[in-house]
Amino acid sequence: MKTLLKNTYRQILKWGDPNYQEVLSDDVKKTIQELVGIPVSEVNLPTFLPGEKEVIVEREIQLQPKYVKEFTEIVGAENIKTSDFERAKHAAGKFYSELLELRQEKVTAPPDLVISPNDESQVELIIQKCNDWKIPICPQGLRSSVTKGIGLPDGGIALDLTKHLNQIISLDEESLTVTAQSGISGPALEKFLNQKGYTCGHFPQSFEFSTLGGWIAAKGAGQCSTGYGKIEDMLLSLKAITPIGIIENENYPKTAQGWDLIPLFIGAEGTLGVITQATIKIRKFEIKNRKNACIIFKDFESAQEAMKACIQGQFGLPHLFRISDHEETEVAFRMKGFEGTFSDKALQAIGYKPNSRSLMFISVEGDKDYASFVVDKIKSTSKKFGGRSIGSRPTKNWLSQRFHSAYMREPLMDLGLMTDTIETSVMWKDLKKLWKNVRTYVKSRPNTVCMCHISHVYENGANLYFTFISPTDKSAPLEDYQQFHEGLVNTILSNKGSLSHHHGIGRALSPWLKEKIGNNSYHLMKNIKDIIDPNGIMNPGSVVC
Residue 38: per-residue pLDDT: 79
pLDDT tens digits along 339-357: 889 999 999 999 999 999 9
pLDDT exceeds 60 at position 48: no
pTM of the model: 0.95
pLDDT exceeds 90 at position 27: no
Q: How far apart are CA 376 and CA 374, in angstroms?
A: 5
Residue 1: per-residue pLDDT: 62
All structural domains of the chain, each given as residue ranges with its CATH number in brackets, are 168-284 (3.30.465.10), 287-402 (3.30.70.3450)
What residues have CB less than 8 Å from 376, skipping those under 6 apart?
A: none
Q: Please, which contacts does 170-176 make with residues 24 or more away whose CB atoms are closer than 8 Å?
A: 171/196, 175/251, 176/281, 176/282, 176/283, 176/284
pLDDT tens digits along 64-105: 999 999 999 999 999 999 999 999 999 999 999 999 999 999
Mean pLDDT of 392-403: 94
Closest to 168 (Cα-Cα) out of 197, 153, 196, 188 = 188
Q: How far apart are CA 121 and CA 125, in angstroms?
A: 6
**Ordered strands of the 274-281 beta sheet:** 168-172, 177-181, 274-281, 235-242, 245-248
Residue 41: per-residue pLDDT: 64
Q: How confident is the model at residue 49 (pLDDT cuts 50, 70, 90)?
A: low
Mean pLDDT of 221-240: 98
Q: How far apart are CA 473 and CA 266, in angstroms?
A: 38
pLDDT exceeds 80 at position 46: no
pLDDT exceeds 60 at position 17: yes
Q: Can you give the C-alpha Rg of the chain in angstroms? A: 23
Q: How far apart are CA 311 and CA 435, in angstroms?
A: 19
pLDDT tens digits along 272-297: 999 999 999 999 998 999 999 999 99
Percent of the chain exceeding pLDDT 90 equals 87
Comparing 38 with 450, the larger pLDDT belongs to 450
- CB-CB neighbours of 128 under 10 Å: 13
Residue 404: per-residue pLDDT: 87
Residue 448: per-residue pLDDT: 97
pLDDT tens digits along 257-270: 999 999 999 999 99
Q: Which of 10-14, 133-137, 153-157, 232-236 has the lowest mean pLDDT?
A: 10-14
Residue 18: per-residue pLDDT: 82
Closest to 135 (Cα-Cα) out of 166, 111, 116, 170 = 111
